[in-house]
Amino acid sequence: MSLQLLGSRTSPFVRQVRVTALEKGLGEALPLRETNPFENDPALLAANPLGKVPALVGTPLGTLHDSRLLCEYIDSLRPEPPLLPRDGGARWAVLRRQATAVGIMDAAAAHVMEARRDDGAISAHWQQRREQAMARGAAALAADFAQDGFALDLGSIATAVALAYLDFRHPQVEWRRAHAALAAWVDDFAQRPSMTASAPPA
């Protein structure tokens, strides 16, 4: 099996997949081909008809796309460490946390794209709504953390990546000020080799 991940180093969706692969000890088996999704790379369009990153090629199932699907697939390739409970309430708790974190990434990435519009039609209304979504998402994750703490799983990986992306692209959201305990956890998680190896370019 010869896998290749198509994506950008600055994408939080791609980083989520890379961190998952590194935590599973599969980093070297999942090389990244730097791909700009806005340049209509034929390889990316063939791998993902939606033209989005990440996309994974070379699997026995054909090409796969969507960061959550890729993370679950990577988790299935090696039993240790298990990053998603196989059943029960714990599984749904991890997937819910992952969905919240990926939703933060969605809002944050859309905010970046809106800010880059060159037609003078940037919508302050939608930018504000996106910032509010990011802040509410961070609050929901902080509430989860306060109740249960975070084990190493697909939900905590997505959380760490999403909040690091807010620090990277959206310091104006100021989620750290309201959620000091979660911020301390993110800072600790950021020291993991998987996070340092997948950090976006400065």
Once rounded to an integer, what is the mean pLDDT over residues 3-19?
97
* 117 and 19 together in one domain: no
* 56 and 96 together in one domain: no
Segment 150-185, tens digit of pLDDT: 999 999 999 999 999 999 999 999 999 999 999 999
Segment 15-66, tens digit of pLDDT: 999 999 999 999 889 999 999 999 999 999 999 999 999 999 999 999 999 9
- CB-based contacts of 17, cutoff 8 Å, min separation 6: 5, 7, 30, 54, 56, 67, 70, 71, 74
Assigned domain for 104 exists: yes
* 70 and 106 together in one domain: no
pLDDT at 30: 93
Assigned domain for 139 exists: yes
Q: Which residues pair with 149 in a beta bridge?
A: none
Which of 140, 131, 189, 139 lies closest to 164, judged by CA? 189
Answer with the one of 36, 52, 77 that is the final residue of a domain. Answer: 77
The yes-or-no verdict on residue 1 having pLDDT over 60 is no
Assigned domain for 122 exists: yes
Number of domains in the chain: 2
Query: For the whole model, what pTM was predicted?
Result: 0.96
**DSSP state letter for 153:** S
Assigned domain for 82 exists: no
Please report which helix (H) or strand (E) contains residue 5, including its range.
strand 4-7
Assigned domain for 103 exists: yes
* 94 and 181 together in one domain: yes
Answer with the one of 77, 108, 137 that is the final residue of a domain. Answer: 77
The answer to whether residues 48 and 65 touch, using CB atoms and an 8 Å cutoff, is yes
Assigned domain for 22 exists: yes
Integer CA distances (angstroms), 129 to 6, 42, 132, 143, 179, in order:
30, 34, 5, 21, 20
Tell me which residue range forms the domain holding 143.
Answer: 88-196
Rg of the chain over CA atoms, in angstroms? 17
Once rounded to an integer, what is the mean pLDDT over residues 87-95?
95
pLDDT at 153: 98
* 65 and 111 together in one domain: no
- Measured CA to CA, the distance from residue 159 to residue 140 in angstroms comes to 11
Answer with the one of 16, 51, 77 that is the final residue of a domain. Answer: 77
* 115 and 147 together in one domain: yes
Assigned domain for 83 exists: no
Q: What is the percentage of the chain residues whose pLDDT exceeds 90?
A: 94
Once rounded to an integer, what is the mean pLDDT over residues 75-94?
96
pLDDT at 88: 92
Estimate the share of the chain in helix, then strand, then coil, as percent rounded to the nearest 5. 60, 10, 30
